Structure 1
Amino acid sequence: MTTPQVEAQDRLSVLTTAGDAEVIRQSLTRPELFALVYDRHAITVHRFLARRVGGQLADDLAAQTMLAAFDSRRRFDPAQDSALPWLYGIATNMLRRHARAESRHLRALSKLDPYPLEQPHDDTVTDRVTAEAAGRELATGLARLNPHERDVLLLVAWESLSYEEVSHALDIPIGTVRSRLHRARTKMRTALLEVSDD
């Protein structure tokens, strides 16, 4: 004979292999189950945010993202098995609230001086200088993009989302994803060429 505790553990073990949509559906009546979605995706969402705004702010934004997801889980589209694009969309909305700070951060990065070199012959120093120069050039280009273009570009480039996933994450048509990505790539190319000509 099984006890209620054993039955609950059995149901939980079944849900650990279920898709996000099923877990979220079940969490509507058993809120504690949303922890499974958190466990699956919180680190990935945090990494995405940290790449955009740094670790400290990412801690806060990731927590806000997961809380907003929990609060709005009734609006999750059950046709989507993975919650990750939905979470990226929520995280992107959180980022928009901090857009001015992000733009200032990117402008500041683009003005940084190269790391002082003590051993220019060392391969690691050469790699570091190359990476820092590329980082400044990329930061300059990213700072010139409008927030909508930057959101699409970074979801594709950093998170490897498909056009369809970006469309779902940002709640925009796939055609808009394509046009924003095209404009962002064109602007980045131009920015990188301008910096390399200086």
Structure 2
Amino acid sequence: MAAVMRMTGGPGTEVTDAEIIRLSAREAERFAEIFDRYYVEIHQYVARRLGAALADDVTAETFLIAFDRRERYDLTYPLARPWLYGIASNLVSRHHRAETRQYKALARLGIDDTVDGPADRIESRIDAESARGLLASALAAISPGDRDVLLLVAWAGLSGEEAARALGVPAGTARSRLHRARKKVRAALGGADPTTVAEEA
């Protein structure tokens, strides 16, 4: 997770994302600092949702859109993370079929029981692969809106309020979606907390 503040410039100079975005309205090259801060984590999030084949293009498009919209950024929010994850989530939603196919493919992979090695390591790997398959199947079955909120909380580490802001929905709507998604995925996982399993898998 990116820090709230990063050091830029001379000693003792702390610059928020909001300040960088504000400055980038006049000095466009400053926006590269936002790219440098968040590219890796946005790319990882997109890759987890869509696979490596689409991650480069979707992540690049996320930052192009953010750059184009930087003058509309709400400067009262010091962190740009939720904003960037919101853009990325909207782009991921355009690839709904690809995302669902990926989860269904992961669910079909099954468990490789031919692994050699210490028993504890094998058992741990089988448990993880089993959970991954169940999770993928559950994620494929829930609605895209519910899935967006769940994965923004579980994989991106956003709070419920940040996820709501990222998706442009009221906080109550995000809470309802998160509750519904957790309930469905928990049932599919035999009662395990889907937020924890999503992070581990």
> With structure 1 as the length reference, what TM-score do the two structures score?
0.86
Q: Is 1:13 aligned with 2:9?
A: yes
Give me the identity figure in percent.
48
121-130 or 146-155: bigger deviation: 121-130
Contact persistence 2:110–2:130 (CA under 8 A): no
Greater fraction of residues in helix: 1
The aligned counterpart of 2:167 is 170
| Counterpart check, 1:143 vs 2:117 | no
Partner of 1:29: 26
Secondary structure at 1:111 match in 2: helix
1:121 to 1:81, Cα distance in 2 relative to 1, 3 A? closer
| d(CA) in 2 for partners of 1:147, 1:54 | 17
What's the counterpart of residue 71 of structure 1?
A: 68
Taking structure 1 as reference, are residues 118 and 161 closer, same or farther at Cα in structure 2, changes over 3 Å only? Answer: closer
Aligned to 2:111: 114
Gaps of 5+ in 2: 1-7, 192-201
Structure 1 residue aligned with 2:43: 46
For residue 83 of structure 2, the aligned residue among 79, 83, 86 is 86
* Aligned residue identity for 1:110: A
Question: Contact 1:163 / 1:177 at 8 angstroms: preserved in 2?
Answer: yes
Quick one: which amino acid aligns to residue 99 of structure 2? E
Shifted more, 170-179 versus 106-115: the winner is: 106-115
Report how many aligned residue pairs link the two structures: 183
- Matching residue within 80, 101, 125 for 2:98: 101
Other structure's SS at 1:39 match: helix
**Counterpart in the other structure of 1:124:** 121
- Give the Cα separation in 2 of the matches to 1:164 and 1:193: 28
**Cα 1:118–1:180 shift into 2, 3 Å:** closer
Segments of structure 1 that go 5 or more residues without pairing to the other structure are 1-11
